[in-house]
Structure 1
C-alpha cells in the first residue's frame, strides 16, 4: 500500500464526497484524484522519475493537497517547506535535497522569484500567471501534457519508498531534512485515525502549517486514509479558528498551545458554537499545569487531548485525554500512542527509575528513515530503532511522563543545572505575565545567568525592567530555589516563535547577547 493508491481508491469509492474545502471552493474526491493524475503527467513530462524530490512552498490551500499527491503519483518525493522561509533558506533546501523542481504560491513568489536564475535545469512553477522563468500552474491545469512518454504506475510504489522530506523548523542552526517512507505515514496516520476517532464523517480543519509533521502526517494523512473532509485556511488566526469551526462544523483541529490560548481571549469566544468538535488536539510546545487547565476548562476537558512527539518519530509519541486525567494537566500522559513505545533512559541507556530525570526515547514503525545527507547526526539520533528525543523528563509514581526541558536548553550556572521550563511554569503563574521564556546568557563568573524574557498582560502594572525584576524575584521567592530565580529580565511585546508555535530560544539568546541596557 502507498498514499497515492489510497487517494485512487477513495476517488472511486467516494467520488462525489467533499474532499478539499476553502471558502466557496469545493473539490470532491474524484476531482482531487483526477487533478493529481493530470498534474502528475505534466511532472513526468518534466522528467520526474521515481525518487526525485520536488519542493512545495504552498500555504494551506487545496492546491497543496493536489500537488502533494501529484508529486507522489509521478513517483516523486514531496519536500513541503515553511512559507515563511527566506530566499536564502529556500535556496539552501533546493540544493540540500537536490530538488528537480519547485512549486510556489504567487503571494510568496516575490521572495523566491530570482531562484529560477540560479539553477535553470530545474523547473519552476507558480500559481497565477507565468513570469520570469516560472511557468503557470494554471496553464498546467488547463492544458494536456505533451508527448507520449510512458506513464509511471504509482501502484508500484512500496511502503519502503520515500514519500516526503520535512525540514526541521530550524530553532537552532540550519534546518535538517528528515526522510520518511510511505510505511511511516501510513502508520502514524492510522494511529491518529484510531486514537481520535477520525472517520468518513469527520471534518478536519488545517490551519497550522502543513510543512510540519503533526499537521501533515497526523491530521492530513489520517483524513486521507479514511476519506474525511479537509477544510483549509492559509494561516492561523484565533478569529478564523472560531468562525470556521462554527460554519464548517469542524470535528477535529490540531494546534500549538498558543492557538488555544489566543482563541480563548477572543471577545466572541463564549458565544461561538463549538459543539461540532469531537477532539481539540494540542502539542508542539510545553504547557504549565495552569495553562493546560485553562485550555481544558475553556474548550472542554472531555474533548481536549495533549499529544507529544517529534518530527523524527513521525511524529509518534504519547497522548493524554483530559477527560481521563484532568488532575495530571501539564503531563504528556503515561502511555505511548498506538504502535509506539516510549522510555526514559540515563546516559548509559538504562531505564530510569521513578522520579529520575533522563532522556525520552521512542520506537515504532512511524519513525524517520534518517536525516538527509547527515549520516553522523542520523546515527546520534536513531539507535537500534529508537529515536532519541533530546527531551529530558521523569515519570511520577502513577506512571505519567513530565517534560523537564530540552537537553540542549539546560542552564548551567555556577556548576548547577537549572531547567528553564520549571522557571517558566512558575513565571507564567504570575497574574501579570502573559507569557515567559527563560534562557541562559553568558556570565563571566557563573558561566551562565538565568534570564527571563516576559510579555506582560494588557493592563498589567506598567513596571520597567528593573521593576519587573524586583517583582518576579519577590513573587518566585519560596516557589523555586533561589539559584533558579532569574537575575535578568527583558520585557518584550511577544515571544518570537516559528510557524509551528515553538519559541525561538536561539533568537532570545541573540537578543539578550546584543542588548546591554537591560537589567
Structure 2
C-alpha cells in the first residue's frame, strides 16, 4: 500500500493468529479453533446446559433443550427421509426456533443448509431450489403461495410446513420432532466441508450461491468475539432477517459459539425492539442503520430503561452522522462498530475499533486480525498508493473458496485466494478503509469521477432525509450527470432546490445533482439493496 501500516488495533489478538497453508493458499488463521459448527453447539451445551439459548416471543429454550430438538430433527432427516452428508436442506423461514433447530440439525448430519429470503417470489425460489438441488424444504405456511406454483418444477422431495394444517403435498414440521430423543451418531466432518449455500443479492443477473464452509463460519464467529470483545455473558437480539449473512453469521452462529442468549424478532418494530433491549437485558446488536434511525425516532425512547446495551454494530449502508451522535447521546458508553463485509467474506472483513468510530466517522474501519487487504487498480491489478482509490480485494479464512456450481463466476471473482469485492475504496495513513462506491456505480461527469457514496453521505446528514441514492444519468454535454433520489422523513417537505443547495454548500459544484427526484420509497431487491438500475432515468417532470 505504499507504506506498511504498523498500528495494531486489536490488542493482543495477534498472538492468537498465525500464517497457515490452507489448500495451497497462505492465509492468517486463529490457531485454536473448533473443528466445525457442531462442536460449537456441543460445547455450549456442555458449559451451559440450563442457560436460556433462544427466546422467541413467549417461548424460551435452553441449550440442553435446543440440542435435544436438533437431535430429533437430525435423526428424522437422516433415517426417515434419507438425507446424507453433502445433501442440501433449504429453509424458507422467518426468525424463529424452527430455523435455528433445523439449520443445526442439517449441519449435524453433514448436510448443507440453504437459507432462502422469505420475500422471494415463485420464479426466484424455483431458480434457487433447482440450482441448489435442495432435497428438503422447511417453510412457514405464509410462503406456500410462492412455492406452490413451482412445486412440480423443483427437485425438492419433501416440504415441511411449520403448521399442523398443511397444504396438499406437504408435511407438518412437527413430524421432524417426533421420536428418537437421544443422541445420533456424529458425522465426521472436516472443517473445510460445506455448511451453507447463501445466495447473493446481485442487482443484475442471476443470484450466485456462495459456498460457505465450517472453517469460514468459525473464523467469522472468532472475528466478532475478538473485535467486538464478546463473551458468553453477552446477549443479542436478531432484529434483521436470520436468512441474511448478518443475522446468520454475525449473530446466530457467533452467539451459539459464545454460548450467549439470542432473542429472535420475527419482524422489526422499534417499540418491541426497545422492550426487548430493556426486558431481556440485551448487550449486543448488529443491524442496518435503518434499525437505529427508527429506534431513535421512537417518541417514547427515553421511557425505556436500557442499562445493558453496550455493543452496537452496523453496516450494509451509510450510517447518518447524526444517528451516531444520537446513539452516543442516548447511551453514552455504547461501543459502536461500523462493520464491512459481504456474503462472500462470511460477514466481517473490516471492523471499526471502538475508540475510533467518532474520529473516523466516514470509514468502515480496519481489517480484522485474520483479514489481508489490498486496494488495486481494477484495470492492472497493481496496488495503488495510500490515499488513492482502487478496488478493494480480500484474502483470509472467512473468504469463500467458490460459488456453487458456477466456475465462471468463481474464476472471475476469486484469484489465488483473493476475492474482488467490486467496491472502490481508499486506505488512509492509519490503515482505515473508506468505501467510495461500487465500480459500476461510479459516475463519470466529463472526466470528473464522482463517487455516489460521498454524495449520499452528505444527503444522509440532512435531518429531513430518510433515504437517498445517487446515480448517473445520460447527459449530452458531459456524458453523465448526477441524479439524486431522496425519500423525506415523515412530515417533512423537500424541493429539488433544497437538495441541490444542501449539497452545493458542502461539495464541489460538479458533484451537485443536476436532477432531484422526491420519492416515497427507493426500489430494493429482496435483500434490501437499492436497485440503482431502476433509477437511472431523467425524471419526466424535468
TM-score in terms of structure 1 length:
0.91
Match in the other structure for 1:130: 166
Match in the other structure for 2:522: 495
Q: Which of 264, 288, 313 is the matching residue for 2:296?
A: 264
Distance 1:325 1:14 in 2: 34
Query: Which structure exhibits the higher relative contact order, with contacts defined as CA atoms closer than 8 Å and separated by 6 or more residues?
Result: 2
Match in the other structure for 1:486: 513
Change over 3 Å in CA distance of 1:294–1:508 after alignment to 2: farther
Match in the other structure for 2:535: 508
| Correspondence 1:139 to 2:175 | yes
Q: Which of 37, 61, 66 is the matching residue for 1:27?
A: 61
Distance 1:496 1:244 in 2: 30
Match in the other structure for 1:148: none
| Correspondence 1:345 to 2:376 | yes
- 1:208 deviates by 0.7
- 1:143 deviates by 4.7
Q: Classify the secondary structure of the residue corresponding to 2:395.
A: strand
Distance 2:446 2:513 in 1: 14
Distance 1:489 1:68 in 2: 45
- 1:431 deviates by 4.4
Match in the other structure for 2:474: 442
| Correspondence 1:366 to 2:398 | yes
Provide the aligned C-alpha RMSD in A: 2.2
Count of residues in Structure 1 that have an aligned counterpart in Structure 2 = 504
Distance 2:522 2:156 in 1: 41
Q: Is the 8 A contact 2:215 2:398 kept in 1?
A: yes
Match in the other structure for 2:25: none
Change over 3 Å in CA distance of 1:518–1:218 after alignment to 2: same
Q: Is the 8 A contact 1:331 1:401 kept in 2?
A: yes
Matches within 5 A, 1:111-510: 111-119=146-154, 122-128=157-163, 129-143=165-179, 153-300=185-332, 302-333=334-365, 335-347=366-378, 348-444=380-476, 446-460=478-492, 462=493, 468-498=495-525, 501-509=528-536
Q: Deviations over 1:160-216 (max 9, x none)?
A: 110001111233332211001111111111111222232222211112111111221
Distance 1:518 1:168 in 2: 35
Q: Is the 8 A contact 2:130 2:155 kept in 1?
A: no
The answer for unaligned runs of 5 or more in structure 2 is 1-34
Q: Is the 8 A contact 2:37 2:214 kept in 1?
A: yes
Q: Is the 8 A contact 2:134 2:156 kept in 1?
A: no
- 1:301 deviates by 6.0
Match in the other structure for 1:67: 102
Q: Deviations over 1:18-49 (max 9, x none)?
A: 11111221111111111111111211121211
- 1:130 deviates by 2.8
Q: Classify the secondary structure of the residue corresponding to 1:107.
A: helix
Q: Classify the secondary structure of the residue corresponding to 1:133.
A: coil
The answer for unaligned runs of 5 or more in structure 1 is 146-150
User: In terms of mean alpha carbon deviation, does 94-103 or 468-477 score higher?
Assistant: 468-477
Q: Is the 8 A contact 2:109 2:187 kept in 1?
A: no
Distance 2:178 2:233 in 1: 32
Q: Classify the secondary structure of the residue corresponding to 1:351.
A: coil
TM-score in terms of structure 2 length:
0.87
Match in the other structure for 1:37: 71
Q: Classify the secondary structure of the residue corresponding to 1:327.
A: coil
Q: Is the 8 A contact 1:285 1:501 kept in 2?
A: no
Match in the other structure for 1:93: 128
Distance 1:276 1:457 in 2: 30
Match in the other structure for 2:541: 518
Q: Classify the secondary structure of the residue corresponding to 2:535.
A: helix
Distance 2:525 2:234 in 1: 29
| Correspondence 1:8 to 2:39 | no
Q: Is the 8 A contact 2:203 2:525 kept in 1?
A: yes
